[in-house]
Structure 1
Amino acid sequence: MPGREAVASGGEMAVRQFSAELRELRVSAGSPSFRSLERLAEPRGSLPRSTAAEAVAGRRLPSLPSTMAFVSACVAYASENSISLALETQDFGRWQQRWIEAKRAVDKLRSDVTAGGSGDVEPAEQPGGRFRDQDDPPLASNRVPSLSFAPQSPPWGRSRLPDRSRSWAVVMGTAQYESAELPQLLAVQDNVSGMADALTTPGLGGFDKNRCTVLLDASDLTSVGRALADVTRSVHDVLLFYYSGHSLLDVGDGDLYLTLTGSEYTSLYFTAVSFTRLAKELANARAEHTVIILDCDYAGRALRTGAVGDNTYVLCATGPTRRALAVPGERFTAFTGDLLHALRGGSASRELDEVLPLDWIYAHVARQAEDKERPRPQRLSTGDTGQLALTRVVPPEPTDT
């Protein structure tokens, strides 16, 4: 076993290096004051000036929520002052990965020192975040490229709804977390119930209520795996999978992991759902068409995996380097709120005759995000899945004249 001095040196060096990177980010963003960082951090109130100062001091590792709030505040300050930042600097996924690396070094220091039976270890900062962070304001000059809108005049006439007797929907979300590093996501509860309702309401949704599996706050991989196995054996037409919650990235290959209530950043392989493995499971199903909808941070990474099967439509809340948005006080998260609005016809349902194809849904949600200056969704469409519909147009109720 290495000596205590060597172990401590390694842990302290990781913390100091990480703090140095935060200081470099602050300088490149225009050296905002701690007061400015407190004002711009999202969610509001998540980064007191004392916490911001501590994050760059190098004495202890800031919590993950505090780190992401610090980064979002720096990016927002740069945008506010028309300062260009490198795309790598604005990659929130990279900052999460760097924090995990530093935290593992600190945890190793604690473990080794405890085993050696000597001395106390300076703890990492306890999390002070209260909710899921907001996405940073977009930088006009450095906006991450996203996929184009759907065509203005697509051939909507070929659209169809799922065969209710041969299709299945899985609506999954995690709102409650055991780890202190993963803030609770209260809006996810409404996301899940809202999506299940929109997909299965008679006269609106294209799925039967008895063929819609709801997984809210799943505790472990086994329960998720069993539920998916049952569905993939029973579906023959359209298989839909929706997820809302925190996501984490593998430090090694950057693979996207969908979190469960017991997920831990230090043991993703055993406590969270690998999107790559999930996509392979869905691709092996008996479905003719597959629809995957992800409302989580860095969701656009799903478009990079080669595991997505043929005849699949993937709709992501945000790009591969961006965080998803949850606005305090709003019932749904930003993306799912706009998605539900679109699934119920939106403000332009008169453009369509009967059903709401996925290409139209994407274009509507993307326009809403652009208008509200919120994270722009991304998509991947293979085969003719863009013409597939999930809901139908609900005619307006007649008014008395």
Structure 2
Amino acid sequence: MKKLFLLVSFFIFSLVWAQEMNKFFEVPLLSYTKLKLGTKILKQPVYFFNDYLSVISFRLENETFSEINLKILNEDGKIIFEKNLIVPPIDYAHWGKEYFFPLGENIKIVADKKYFLVITPQEFSSIYFYYLDKDQLLQGSEEKVYILDRLEELLVNEKPAEKILRLAFYEGKENLPPQLSNFKIEILENNKTKVSFNANEPVKYNFIYENKVSKKISSSKIDYFEICPHLKKMCSLEIEVESGSNYSYKLEARDFWNNLSLLEGEFEVPAVKILENKESKFSETYTKFTSEEPSFLRNDEKIIKEKRKQTTERLNLEKTPPQIKKTEEKILEDKNKSPEVKKENLEKKKISYEQKNLEQNKNSYEQKTYEQKKLIDFKNSIKILPIFLFFLILLFIIYKKTR
């Protein structure tokens, strides 16, 4: 019975494989480490990054006929494919042998959604699955990191196993064009423009654009299949444009089967104004211009000058004699005090200065008053002097006559 089932499975696989197939993903790294299935349930989380799935393959070794159940679940746990399969004996090979599990048709999948491949033995199984250690994928190359974008850690009996199964995905020929989304044109600096979008399957693409005034036609092309599913990565390229120009464009994107998607439209590159002053030049695109130096530059310059000043003071301080050094250290310490301490010291100095000034004014006033009083007394004495002299002369005359 098992042999009959195997023959039927092989016949179905032959019919599927007779169609054209496209391997759109594979774990390419070689590994001789393997895991015996036994009674374990394996659950491999995957992102297909494609629109259709027709065949899944694993690297296996098997001692005898083994029956397994293969399921594909979406992220909500809904079964989108399920089938019991009998795996024949598979001879040992150092890296394992690739064994194909045909699904019988192209199954529609969503590029950026998570799925689960669930393998359940129907009895104790002698199948060995080859795998990679997760640590191997975390050590470096871009190729390894790319694998982690597509596959998450294997679950064995629902527990993380720090492994990733060696597998590959295939799709059969289909005639649906790739679906493009989130198309965007960004105007950059230096006459550059960025074109970006998402696609639901790997695509090659060509961006053609024409200056509507000069009629100059330019293009930029990606001639390999790039993967850019929604929420994961953007397909993008940069083109050169002229400021103040209008362009028409056409984006052509093709999948593996040469199915074409086309986007057309127009975009405008704003004029770039060049404004000059004596010290510098500024370039802007419809932005208000100011000739002042940016505030963050002014602040940075002040900080640099202050630090230079402090450094110079420190260096000079190191060269001074001990007595002077002690005094200057006190001055430098006062300079570096916090604003609150500086303010308090300033207020104390102000009060002291006002008191001293008041005393000086008082002393000055008293001195001035005393001098003015002496001057008045002197002036009064001068006024009395003639009278005094007159009486003195009169007394002298009387004295002479009496003799």
Regarding TM over 0.5, the answer is no
Which protein has greater RCO, CA pairs closer than 8 Å, 6+ apart?
Answer: 1
Which structure dedicates a bigger proportion of its chain to helix? 1
**What TM-score does the superposition give when structure 2 sets the normalisation length?**
0.22
Which structure dedicates a bigger proportion of its chain to strand? 2
**What TM-score does the superposition give when structure 1 sets the normalisation length?**
0.22
